[in-house]
Amino acid sequence: MQRLIVLMLITLVPRSSAFAVRGACAYLARPLSHTVGDIGARALRTCAPMGGRGRPPAGVAFGQGGVGVGVRGLHASGALHQGKVDEIEAQLKADDPTQTQLGGEERINLWSLSPPALEELLVSWGAKKFVAKQVHQWMYEKGATNIDDFTNVSKQMREMLKSKATLGTLSIATQQESKDGTIKRAYALPDGQLIESVLMPYNDGRRTACISSQAGCAMGCVFCATGQMGFARQLTASEIFEQVLRFHCELAQKGERLSNVVLMGMGEPLGNYNNVLTAVRRMNEEVGIGARHITISTVGLVPRIQRLSKEGLQVKLAVSLHAANDRERSEMMPVNVRFPLSELMQACRDYIRDTGRRITFEWALIAGKNDTPETAHELGALLQGMMCHVNLIPLNPTSGFDGKPTQAADVKTFVEVLAEYGVTATPRVRRGIDIDAGCGQLKSKVQKALGRGGAPL
């Protein structure tokens, strides 16, 4: 009854007076089911004093009869995205068994081996146990990328290693370097698939690697170049780990170190759960990157967020949100048809409770779409009271999406509105803007140049 009264008040009070009930709107938007909860969140747009810039939200009617919600948009999105929803379901059910190597490789990838497995292999080839330690030091501490660099290993053993083993399986198909120092690579995999990795240097000394977890992506987010190209296959744990190790080795040879890793490249990391976590643990244990300096992103696969909360890892979690109500989010992100905001927000609250760790919500600002003050109020109500931070991302335009980046003044207003709800937000610094640094963009360019569309090399 309280909720009904407040919703009636929202429709009756003038917009200039409605600020007083905005807190009540925020209260309503969270605990209700995703259909009814959408009423409170959408009504919030009209509650905020917008100085005449507010607009009636699509799907909500304000009149003498009270508040009405149109759900046809959500149903239409479900029908439109049903194929993608089926793909998402299939990926969750498959539960991706961990793999160390692709079949058909003639030589053993030393970078795919754990320290015990490396020792067992070399001992089986007649080496002493200390040789395994020497090889491990060359690969991970000294950053060697060539077996000939293992100078304190006997020449005979080096020749055996070169004949029977290799360091990695990725080969650089193309590389771009930005004037700000950002390096973007497209790697060719043994089966011809392409993936991308980015190294971003910062003035404060940080060196951050952005890496891929899948070849392509099944999630189908409309504004993402990778989402537009579809899903090819899961990356193995060693393919994920190798992207990090290569940057680590190159930086080590220059007297620098890789400080951070974000799994925000191609693919949905929690859609490749086992392989991603195996790789993350190796980054932490073998490369020495602190778990708190590793970020796993997700579009919102609720069962996998719940599973991650029980792992005992101190990694950071970033959730791609991009819209604060179900209709708009379902239009942009098919995953929302399967896991609507009510379920996602509950999973996020549970994650915070179970881990004691703050969640970052990723928000790609699209001019005129999700960058308005009204939308900021809606988002603020959705996140109010959560231990979270909003990362505002400048949109990287793609050929398959006609959205434009938000203007600086609108970004500033968006941040200020969120602050009214106690929600902190930071606009991300644009990196590699003069190259194809956005997820999937370089791969698309390479494939077009080869005239192969989405086919492997």
SS3 assignment, position 185: strand
Four-residue CA torsion sign, 410, 414, 415, 419:
positive
Report the C-alpha gap between 24 and 44 in whole angstroms: 9
Report the C-alpha gap between 193 and 214 in whole angstroms: 10
Whether the Cβ atoms of residue 65 and residue 318 lie closer than 8 Å to each other? no
Report the C-alpha gap between 126 and 412 in whole angstroms: 64
Report the C-alpha gap between 346 and 359 in whole angstroms: 13
Supply 310's token pair.
Answer: 């029980």
The H-assigned helical ranges of 204-314 are 225-229, 237-252, 273-282, 302-308
Could you tell me which of 391, 336, 58 has the C-alpha nearest to residue 221?
336
Full DSSP string of 95-158:
-----SS-TT-SSEEGGGS-HHHHHHHHHHTT--HHHHHHHHIIIIIS---SGGG-TTS-HHHH
Supply 84's token pair.
Answer: 């993608």
Report the C-alpha gap between 290 and 448 in whole angstroms: 38
Instruction: Give the 3-state secondary structure percentages of the chain, helix then strand then coil, rounded to 5.
Output: 45, 20, 35
Whether the Cβ atoms of residue 416 and residue 373 lie closer than 8 Å to each other? no
Could you tell me which of 381, 428, 346 has the C-alpha nearest to residue 28?
381
Report the C-alpha gap between 445 and 272 in whole angstroms: 25
Full DSSP string of 48-96:
S--TT---PPTTEEEETTEEEE--HHHHHHHHHTHHHHHHHHHHHHH--
Whether the Cβ atoms of residue 314 and residue 357 lie closer than 8 Å to each other? yes
How many residues in total does the chain contain? Answer: 457
Supply 45's token pair.
Answer: 């747009």
Report the C-alpha gap between 275 and 215 in whole angstroms: 13
Q: Catalytic site residues?
A: 196, 439
